[in-house]
Every structure is written in structure tokens, then in C-alpha cells.
């Protein structure tokens, strides 16, 4: 027995009402549909005959919110040019480039659905952040820098170069991207010195516990050159906890952007050529490329915004105390402040205050004065007592006692 098609079954139900004279209720119960469905079949048969009983598309005839084909083409072209761009970045670029009119500008969710339809992104469950979510960052520029060393820059001779990178915590402004053949103390400190000359000294500087950054965990603890540059320029050097890379999350996220957008898979003819290409990309990153965490501002806009609005001077180049020779002569000594705020210089004890406990200070030993410096700050000046004067004083005391 041949199985009837859907149209034929509906046609028999309609004939049972029209030709056989059965009621709609009786036919609906026999066929197993509702009376409303059977009434719709009768209306369709009356309007279009047998062809009207077939299934039709439920797609609406018009959709006012449908993305125009020209706008969809712009979205897909931006995505193909920059495979790492997401819906938010693509929409921001369409606004910045004025690729479409303001009336046709799609929403971020519409761009996302367009990418899903094209198979360029996987449809994932999107979780909305809680309203109380707040991104942790410092309040003003130059308050904290995050610095690290990243590798993976290929050279034509088969070697790999590394880069000393640094970003401002508040503005994500890249302050350092200096390539070096290997991760060595002198190369890292030269990069730090060049950065401080260009932008000035931050209040704090955050790094991991690498040996080029600190010697606090050596046995015994030592002061490496990087620590000394920070100390002599009044910079508080902060360290991450062991095995805690999320503490320097902003510089790690910068490395991810660097690998994707700068494309570290390229092979450069020389270290100089790689540095020139990296410098050009850093300029684009700081001044042209909008940053999602900054509300689509560029890092440079936020780095200099506070100075422009508050009338404060912008960061200016400085002279590095650690690179000058005036603290390397015989007249200069370095001392560690004890827990009670006391240092010992030229056979005399000097109290510099408990607030400086644990710090390293420089002392200028003059003919008559001792000047104690902490970084660029002169914290105390005392009269010098020579060794002979101390002994003579002690001898006179002994004579008086006898």
C-alpha cells in the first residue's frame, strides 16, 4: 500500500468536510489535528487549490534589522585581513574608518552573528560580566610599570632574539620594546636606562623574580644592577609571588597582542631590521590602535590625557643617577639601613630614621660633612667625626676617670 504524502492527507481531510459533509470536529478527531488546523487547510484550499495545501517557508517577507549585504561584506573583509579581530574591534574599526553610514552601522552582537554564519568563529556561550566587575589598574599614568622579557624573534642566521618589554599599568602605553641577542644583565639594564631617559621614572616597577631583575633570593642576597638603577632613581621595585604570572597580567596580555599583530613568526634579516620593524609597530600600537580595555582609546591618549587636562607636565626625559660617575668615586659608600634606622660610616653611627629601615642609601664622605642620599633625595647631613678625634676624646675620658 502506497503511503500518502502530506499534501494528499490534507486533501482527503478537506474532501471529507466538503464532499462527504462531515463536521470539522469529526474530521479533526479522525485525522488527529486541532479544529483550527483543519480550518486553516480549508482556507488554503479555497485560496490556492491543491498547491495551497503544501508547506511554505515561515521566513518573514521582510526584516528591518537584517544586515545589508554591503555591510556584511565589509565585516567579512575586515575579519579576513585581521584574523585576530573580534566583533568589538571590527565594529570599532568600522566607526573609525567610516566604512558604513551611521544608520547602517551594526551592533556588536550583529557582527558576531555575521562571523558565526560565515564560519569564521565558533558559536560559544557568551557570559555577561557582573555589574560590579572592575578591572584592576592604577589610577594615574607613571604610577606603575610592568616589565618582562619575551622571546621568539627569529633571525636569518638561525638565532632567536629576545625583547625587554614594558607597559604603563594605567594606560597600557608601551614604554619599552628593546631587542637583544640574549637575556643578559647589561642588555636588560641598558634597555631600562633608555626607557627612563625617554619617559622619566615611574613610582613603582613590577617584574618577576628573574635573575636579571633581582638578586634578593640569592644566597646570600645581592643587589643586581637592575635593582640598583631602581634604588638610585627612587623607584620602588616590586616582585611577583613565585609561580604567579597573573600578577603581571597586563604585560603578559601585551605579549599575546605582540605575537599576533606583529607576527613573530616572521624571519628578519638582522637584529637591526627586526628592531626597526618592532619600533614601527609600537608607534602604531601606542598612537593608532584602539584598545578595548580603554574604551577604544589609544594608549597614548590615556597616557598623556591626565597631564593635558590637569595642567601637569608630561613625562620628560631625565638624567639617570645610576649611570653617572659622581657616585662611583672613593668619596661615595653604600650602606644598608638597619631595622632601627641606623647606619655606620667612618666609625660613627648615624640615625636616618626608622622610616628608611631596610633601604640602601648612598653616603658622600666629605672632609667635614657626611651626606646621606636615598635615590635623588638628600635625607640627612651630619658633621663628620674623624677616627683620630674619636680616639682622642675616648682617651681624655679615660684620663678624667682615673
In a domain, 402, yes or no: no
Q: How far is CA 398 from the centre of its chain?
A: 68
pLDDT in tens, 60-79: 777 777 888 899 999 999 99
Which of the two residues, 270 and 217, has the higher pLDDT score? 270
DSSP structure class, residue 291: B
pLDDT in tens, 4-16: 788 888 888 999 9
In a domain, 138, yes or no: no
Residues 342-358 as b/e (b if ≥16 CB within 10 A, e otherwise) read bbebeebebebeeebee
Q: Do residue 239 and residue 292 come from a single domain? A: yes
Q: Do residue 373 and residue 346 come from a single domain? A: yes
pLDDT at 389 over 50: no
Sign of the Cα pseudo-torsion (145, 147, 153, 158, in order):
positive
In sequence order, what are the beta bridge partners of 373?
362, 378
Residues 321-335 as b/e (b if ≥16 CB within 10 A, e otherwise) read bbeeeebeeeeeeeb
pLDDT on residue 130: 61
pLDDT in tens, 79-131: 988 888 888 889 888 888 888 888 889 988 899 989 988 888 877 666 666 65
At 252, is the pLDDT very low, low, confident or very high (cuts 50, 70, 90)?
very high
Q: Do residue 78 and residue 196 come from a single domain? A: no
**Global pTM value:** 0.59
At 322, is the pLDDT very low, low, confident or very high (cuts 50, 70, 90)?
very low
Which three cell numbers mark 241? 609571588
CATH code (residue 78): 1.10.10
Q: How far is CA 271 from the centre of its chain?
A: 26
pLDDT on residue 393: 41
In a domain, 16, yes or no: yes
Structural domains in the chain (count)? 4
| Mean pLDDT taken over the chain | 83
pLDDT at 324 over 60: no
pLDDT on residue 77: 92
Q: Smallest Cα–Cα separation from 254: which of 339, 163, 172?
A: 172
- Domain of residue 297: give its range: 144-310
- The residue written with cell numbers 684620663 in the block is 399
**What is the β-pairing status of strands 160-168 and 236-239?**
unpaired
Q: Do residue 153 and residue 290 come from a single domain? A: yes
In sequence order, what are the beta bridge partners of 382?
370
Q: Do residue 376 and residue 306 come from a single domain? A: no
Q: Do residue 212 and residue 351 come from a single domain? A: no
Amino acid at each position: 500500500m502506497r503511503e500518502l504524502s502530506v499534501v494528499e492527507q490534507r486533501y482527503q481531510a478537506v474532501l471529507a468536510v466538503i464532499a462527504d459533509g462531515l463536521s470539522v470536529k469529526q474530521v479533526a478527531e479522525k485525522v488527529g489535528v486541532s479544529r483550527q488546523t483543519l480550518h486553516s487547510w480549508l482556507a488554503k484550499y479555497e485560496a490556492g487549490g491543491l498547491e495551497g495545501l503544501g508547506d511554505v517557508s515561515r521566513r518573514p517577507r521582510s526584516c528591518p534589522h537584517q544586515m545589508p549585504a554591503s555591510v556584511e561584506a565589509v565585516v567579512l573583509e575586515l575579519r579576513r585581513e585581521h584574523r585576530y579581530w573580534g566583533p568589538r574591534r571590527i565594529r570599532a574599526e568600522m566607526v573609525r574608518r567610516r566604512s558604513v553610514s551611521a544608520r547602517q552601522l551594526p551592533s556588536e552582537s550583529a557582527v558576531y552573528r555575521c562571523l558565526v554564519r560565515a564560519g569564521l568563529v565558533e558559536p560559544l556561550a557568551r557570559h555577561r560580566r557582573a555589574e560590579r566587575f572592575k578591572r584592576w589598574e592604577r589610577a594615574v599614568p607613571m604610577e606603575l610599570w610592568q616589565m618582562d622579557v619575551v622571546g621568539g624573534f627569529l633571525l636569518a642566521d638561525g638565532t632567536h632574539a629576545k625583547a625587554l618589554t614594558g607597559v604603563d599599568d594605567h594606560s597600557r602605553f608601551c614604554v619599552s620594546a628593546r631587542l637583544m641577542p640574549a637575556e643578559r644583565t647589561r642588555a636588560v639594564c641598558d634597555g631600562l636606562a633608555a626607557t627612563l631617559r625617554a619617559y622619566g621614572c615611574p613610582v613603582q616597577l613590577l617584574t618577576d623574580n628573574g635573575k636579571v631583575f633581582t638578586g634578593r633570593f640569592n644566597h646570600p642576597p645581592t643587589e643586581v644592577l637592575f635593582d640598583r638603577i631602581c634604588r638610585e632613581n627612587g623607584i620602588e621595585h616590586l616582585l611577583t609571588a613565585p609561580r604567579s604570572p597573573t600578577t603581571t597580567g597586563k604585560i603578559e596580555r601585551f605579549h599575546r597582542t605582540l605575537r599576533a599583530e606583529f607576527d613573530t613568526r616572521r624571519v628578519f634579516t638582522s637584529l637591526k631590521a627586526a628592531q626597526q620593524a618592532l619600533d614601527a609597530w609600537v608607534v602604531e600600537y601606542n598612537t593608532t590602535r584602539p584598545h578595548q580595555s580603554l574604551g577604544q582609546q589609544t594608549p597614548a591618549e590615556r597616557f598623556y590625557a591626565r597631564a593635558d587636562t590637569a595642567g601637569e607636565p608630561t613625562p620628560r626625559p631625565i638624567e639617570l643617577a645610576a649611570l653617572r660617575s659622581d657616585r662611583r668615586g672613593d668619596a661615595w659608600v653604600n650602606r644598608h639601613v638597619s631595622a632601627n634606622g641606623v647606619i655606620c660610616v667612618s666609625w660613627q653611627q648615624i640615625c636616618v630614621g626608622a622610616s628608611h629601615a631596610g633601604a640602601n642609601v648612598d653616603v658622600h664622605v666629605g672632609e667635614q660633612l657626611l651626606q646621606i642620599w636615598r635615590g635623588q633625595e638628600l635625607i640627612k647631613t651630619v658633621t663628620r667625626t674623624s677616627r683620630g678625634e674619636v680616639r682622642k676624646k675616648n682617651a681624655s675620658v679615660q684620663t678624667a676617670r682615673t
